[in-house]
Chains A and B, each alone.
Chain A
Amino acid sequence: TQLLEQSPQFLSIQEGENLTVYCNSSSVFSSLQWYRQEPGEGPVLLVTVVTGGEVKKLKRLTFQFGDARKDSSLHITAAQPGDTGLYLCAGEGDTGGFKTIFGAGTRLFVKA
């Protein structure tokens, strides 16, 4: 069974600080997505990474896919209150199946 573990589960920081959240698995994924979800809303796609070692940047957010395609990280520079939300990673299996596996998420709170 493929599992995705996210850490930390909860993070509360001051505006302007940097942070990194992690998404780890013992399984290989053909692609991995990061989403942000606000209360009462559906997850919104931030990025998809496909190639091992790939790094993608989205303004202050930097996403990295591990070389072995088993893990990923999301780094936020100079966090802002608007970054507050639940960050979910989701992996697409590498075994030909269609089911995407979600982590439980990292809940980020950025204080002004």
Chain B
Amino acid sequence: DTGVSQNPRHKITKRGQNVTFRCDPISEHNRLYWYRQTLGQGPEFLTYFQNEAQLEKSRLLSDRFSAERPKGSFSTLEIQRTEQGDSAMYLCASSSGVNTDTQYFGPGTRLTVL
């Protein structure tokens, strides 16, 4: 059984470029979450999927951010026209939603915007 995987692990881009991250959740998990984490802080919720449906989005998720989970399995997070303030660790987590919503995290994608 593999855990949550994320690709790429690191991304360096220039301001104004678009970037896309991928998350593959634990196979039997139907819930998938995206978080952003900056240095010294806990993860901040961005968005959440139940199967392919995006059920909740944070106010942190500006118009430049979009997330999809087209087949209810893997998910992508795209950031358009990146800004230096987007530099952070982007974490994906999944959960089964059975009894509790305990979430299991991937290793994250570290984004650096120059």
Contact = CB atoms under 8 A, between A and B. Distances in A.
A34 to B, nearest CB: 11
Interface residues of B, number: 30
Contacts of A41: 107-108
Given A40-B110, A103-B42, A31 B102 contact: yes
Chain A interface mostly: strand
B43 A102 contact: yes
A100 B6 CA distance: 20
B105 interface: yes
Contacts of A105: 40-42
> For this complex, into which size category does the number of interface residues on chain A fall?
20 to 34
Given A42-B108, A43-B91, A103-B42, A98 B55 contact: yes
Contacts, number: 66
B3 to A, nearest CB: 9
A11 interface: no
A31 to B, nearest CB: 4
B56 A98 contact: yes
A50 interface: yes
Contacts of B97: 98
B103 A100 contact: yes
A104 interface: yes
Interface of A: 30-31, 33, 35, 40-45, 48, 50, 88, 90, 92, 98-105, 107
14 contacts: A31-B101, A40-B89, A42-B93, A43-B43, A43-B105, A48-B102, A98-B31, A98-B50, A98-B55, A99-B45, A99-B56, A100-B45, A102-B44, A103-B42
